[in-house]
Amino acid sequence: MSLATTRFLPVLDCPDPRALADFYRRLLGWTITENRDEWVELARDDATAIAFQRDPDFTPRHWPADGVHAHLDFVVPDLDEAERLVLGLDALRADEGSSTGTFRVFRDPAGHFFCLCAC
């Protein structure tokens, strides 16, 4: 048996779904397709989307001490240019400027981790 689905939808818990969706909208250029107080969806097309769900008790994890359960990776053609973009959108560098040359770690405004990858 398999789970038949037409869409896989990752969901990020956060205190303010609209604010976090707006951060990723500006980052990715996708469209907000559902906009409620408790739930906001952002989509590129019918099959590629991400949602943001209100959790007033959300607390960001401390990395690397707490580890990370999940994070988002964005493959980009130019790490330096992408870093300037995300920092301009109020993301924070999470790996204290260290770099392997192939990826960099950031936190979105709610504290979720994401990586810019050139791999």
Q: Respond yes or no on whether the N-terminal peptide bond of residue 15 is cis (omega within 30° of 0).
A: no
**Which tens digits make up the pLDDT trace of 71-96?**
899 999 999 999 999 999 999 999 87
61 located within any domain:
no
pLDDT, residue 101, reads: 81
DSSP codes, 100-113: -SSEEEEE-TTS-E
Does residue 70 or residue 28 have the better pLDDT? Answer: 28
Mean pLDDT of 98-114: 86
Phi, psi of 48 (to 5 degrees): -120, 110
The CATH number of residue 29's host domain is 3.30.720.120
**Structural domain for 111, as ranges:** 70-119
Dump pLDDT digits (tens) for 41-77.
999 998 899 999 999 999 988 777 777 678 899 999 9
> Considering the entire predicted model, what is its pTM?
0.80
How many domains does the chain divide into? 2
Burial of residue 22, with CB atoms counted within 10 A of its CB: 0-12 exposed, 13-18 middle, 19 or more buried? middle
Instruction: Clarify whether residues 110 and 74 are in a common domain.
Output: yes
